[in-house]
């Protein structure tokens, strides 16, 4: 937090200097100065971020406008988490932050300072798949596979939240994850199997 306060004040300082310049310098020069400031500001405006992803601690410096989703995909090269809409409307980007499912496209990376993030790459135990991954394969809970990481992260949370007590309840609590290939009935079959703690027919 301390760190962030400092950053905030630096940014304010830059803004103020620009504003002061506006009072004294004629406009063409002002435009130049503005651009210059912007470049400096962008340098200063990176923020420190401590984040644990799939058990690995990262110490990063990121622009505050970078979403958690883009941090994962573009900077950490964890592309298992998918971008389908970037607006919190499809669920393809679902990850767990401190054990809760969120749409990572709706969370700025810097909002997750000090938190533990789990992505699709972090749920298997070596070569042993997570039971939900197994169940999705057994029930063919996908076709193209693009929504699948988000579905699986959502499904694990759905069971943990206690929202998997019937087909209807699973359908309701899995409706934030769109599958355009239409694997829905098979996704519900998979969640049912894991909920029951074993294979279902």
Partner 1 sequence: MDKNYFFEDTITADEKRVDGVAKVTGAATFSAEHTIPGLTYAVFVCSTIARGTIKNMVLAKAKNAPGVIDIIYYLNCPVVPGYTSEIKEKNQRERVLNGLNVFADNIVYSNGQPIALVIADTWERAVYAASLVKVEYIEEKPETDFDNLMQKAEAPGWGGTYKRGDEDAYKKAEVMIENEYSIPAETHNPIEPHATVAVWEKNDKLVVYDKTQGPKSTQGDLALLFGLKRENIQVITEFVGGAFGCALRTWPHTPAACIAAKKIGRPVKLVLTREQMFTMVGYRPISWQKIGIGASRDGKLTGITHHAISNTSRYEQFSESIVDPSQNLHDCPNVNTSYKTLALDINTPIWMRGPGPATGCFALESALDELAYKLNMDPIELRLKNYAEVHPQNKLPWTSKHLKECYELGREKIGWHNRPSVPGTLKENGMLTGYGMGVGVFWAGRSSATARGTLYADGMFVLQSAISDMGPGTTTAMVSIAAEQMGLPPDKIRFELGNTDFPTGPTQGGSGSTTAVGTAVTLICEAMQVSLKEMAIESVPGFKNYKPEELDYKNGKVSAKTNSSTSISYTDIIKQSGKPELQVSKSTESFAQRDKYAMNSFSAHFVKLHVHPVTGVITLKKIVAVADCGRVISETTARSQMVGGAVGGIGMAMHEETLMDHHSGRYINANLADYHVPVNADIPAIDVLFVNKPDNIISPTGAKGIGEIALVGVAPAVANAVYNATGKRITRLPITPDKLI
Are the C-beta atoms of 199 and 178 separated by less than 8 Å?
Answer: no
- If binding means CB under 6 A, how many residues of this protein chain bind ligand FES? 23
Position of tokens 């990063």? 60
- Please tell me the distance from the alpha carbon of residue 105 to that of residue 85, in angstroms, as a whole number: 8
Options 37, 52, 86, 134; binder of ligand FES; rule CB under 6 A: 86
Are the C-beta atoms of 80 and 88 separated by less than 8 Å?
Answer: no
Q: Is 180 in the site for ligand FES (CB under 6 A)?
A: yes
Are the C-beta atoms of 172 and 188 separated by less than 8 Å?
Answer: no
Tell me which of ligand FES, partner 1, none is bound by residue 171, counting a contact when its beta carbon lies within the kind-specific cut-off of 5 to 8 angstroms.
Answer: partner 1
Residues that bind partner 1 (CB under 8 A): 35, 38-39, 42, 63, 65-66, 70, 73-74, 77-87, 89-90, 92, 119-121, 124, 129, 133, 136-138, 140, 142-149, 152, 168, 170-172, 174-189
Q: Is 144 in the site for ligand FES (CB under 6 A)?
A: yes
For residue 188, how far is the Cα from the chain centroid? Answer: 24
Question: How many angstroms separate the most distant Cα atoms in the chain?
Answer: 78
Tell me which of partner 1, ligand FES, none is bound by residue 93, counting a contact when its beta carbon lies within the kind-specific cut-off of 5 to 8 angstroms.
Answer: ligand FES
- x/- site string to ligand FES, residues 26 to 65, per CB under 6 A? ----------------------------------------
By CB under 6 A, the residues from 99 to 118 that bind ligand FES are 103, 105
* Residues 174/179/184/188 CA torsion (nearest 10 deg): -40
Handedness of CA 72, 74, 80, 84 (dihedral sign): positive
Q: Which residues bind ligand FES (CB under 6 A)?
A: 83-86, 88-93, 103, 105, 142-148, 179-181, 183
């Amino acid at each position: 937090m301390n760190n962030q306060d400092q950053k905030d004040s630096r940014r304010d300082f830059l803004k103020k200097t620009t504003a002061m310049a506006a009072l004294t310098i004629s406009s063409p020069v002002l435009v130049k100065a503005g651009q210059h400031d912007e470049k400096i500001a962008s340098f200063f405006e990176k923020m420190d971020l401590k984040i644990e992803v799939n058990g690995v601690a990262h110490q990063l410096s990121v622009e505050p406008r970078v979403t958690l989703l883009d941090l994962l995909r573009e900077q950490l090269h964890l592309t298992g988490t998918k971008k389908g809409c970037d607006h919190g409307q499809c669920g393809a980007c679902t990850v767990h932050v401190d054990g809760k499912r969120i749409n990572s496209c709706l969370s700025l990376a810097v909002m997750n300072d000090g938190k533990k993030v789990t992505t699709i790459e972090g749920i298997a135990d070596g070569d042993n798949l997570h039971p939900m991954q197994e169940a999705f394969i057994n029930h063919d809970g996908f076709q193209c596979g693009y929504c699948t990481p988000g579905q699986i992260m959502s499904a694990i949370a759905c069971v943990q939240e206690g929202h998997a007590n019937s087909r209807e309840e699973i359908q309701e609590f899995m409706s934030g994850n769109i599958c355009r290939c239409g694997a829905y009935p098979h996704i519900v079959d998979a969640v049912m199997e894991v909920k029951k703690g074993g294979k279902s027919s």
